[in-house]
Amino acid sequence: MQQPTTTTVNAYAKINLGLHILRKREDNYHDIETILHRINIYDSITVERKKSGEIFIHCTDPGIPTDTSNLCYKAAGLFYSTIEHEHELAITIEKNIPVGAGLGGGSSNAATVLRACNMLYGYPLDDSILTNLASRIGSDVPYFLHAGSAYATGRGETLEYFDLELPYWIVLVYPRIHIETKWAYQSYTPNRNMRNHNLKSLVQKNIMKPRSWVNTLRNDFEPIVFRTYPVVMRVKESLMKSGADFALMSGSGSSVFGLYQDETYAKEIAESLPATYDVWITPPFFVPDPIITERKANA
């Protein structure tokens, strides 16, 4: 069968159900603990082989760089250097995931490009090599290579995938504030009085009692982000006052999500928020479209 030369894949965003910063490492990275869970927001990535000798990137968002600083470019470049092949790729990014929102859009895009390249060239790299390449691009990138939710430790690259079916409507609010992850880590000051819980056990144990998460499930970036960008704090307060069972900032911000049990109520809340915010809703038990998997799953 002839090898395909182009593919289009949805690259989904994630939220963090809790994010604990445990310690700063000697390599200046931080050890963290978090749960990564996909939501129904995605970029559409088209990857096409072209006899060009280059890597071309086009993005529908003019604010996204299309040069070598783009994570998709880095992913393609690493792939080609690993298989020792000349560059011959065109990547089109239909951008929907906001940048600097704590949703992992760039990481998801990069992982999607790695998987797409591997498929288009007949699966020359196994999962262990793809994971190694992904970790060289960014701490979040390995997560997006596989489907499902994951308990992440280390820099975020040590992953334990597990089934996490959230029986809630997720209302995600982006107040259109761009926050750099690097700034968030540099600004973070440890709170020695905070007690760390095992996030995976905490979430699984109380999946039907999200209100119990209010006092135990935290994002350690919230205090510094709220001090610097009070509007993000007001978004979280609005969701909680509106009747969310639980609300939390995702990643290093600035997006905030709330969990609701009732569909009508969730949609009413989403519609009542200021027009200056971007809002998305993910239904309960959401499962994204299948990602590109390894050869044996496509045989």
- Domain boundary among the residues 162, 190, 211 is at 162
Give 111-132 pLDDT, tens digit per residue: 999 999 999 999 999 999 999 9
Among the three residues 135, 162, 189, which one is the final residue of a domain in this structure? Answer: 162
Q: How far apart are CA 292 and CA 73, in angstroms?
A: 19
pLDDT tens, residue by residue, 80-95: 999 999 999 999 999 9
Interatomic CA distance for residues 110 and 9, integer angstroms: 12
Question: Within its chain, how far is the Cα of 296 from the centroid?
Answer: 26
Query: Does 291 reside within a domain?
Result: no
Catalytic position from the list 14, 95, 200, 236: 14
CATH code where residue 139 lies: 3.30.230.10
Torsion angle, alpha carbons of 147, 151, 157, 158, to 10: -110
Domain assignment of residue 298, yes or no: no
Q: 25 lies in a domain? A: yes
14 is catalytic: yes
Look at residue 46 and tell me if it is in a domain: yes
Render pLDDT for 157-206 as a digit per residue (tens, 0 to 9): 899 999 999 999 999 999 999 999 999 999 998 776 666 668 898 899 88
Nearest in space to 292 (alpha carbons), one of 2, 12, 81: 12
Instruction: With respect to residue 294, please indicate whether it lies within any of the assigned structural domains.
Output: no
Q: In angstroms, how far is CA 4 from the centroid of its own chain?
A: 28
227 with 269, same domain: the answer is: yes
Domain of residue 147: give its range. 6-162
pTM over 0.75: yes
Which of the following is catalytic: 74, 140, 200, 220? 140
Q: Give rounded-to-5 percent helix, strand, coil for the chain.
A: 35, 25, 40
Q: Work out how many domains the chain is built from and give that number.
A: 2
What's the longest Cα–Cα distance across the chain?
61
Active site residue 24: no
Residues 221 and 238 in one domain: yes
Indicate the length of the chain as a whole number: 299
Residues 19 and 125 in one domain: yes
CA distance 45 to 47: 6
Q: Is 126 helix (H, G, I), strand (E, B) or coil?
A: coil
Residue 218: count of CB within 10 angstroms of its CB: 21
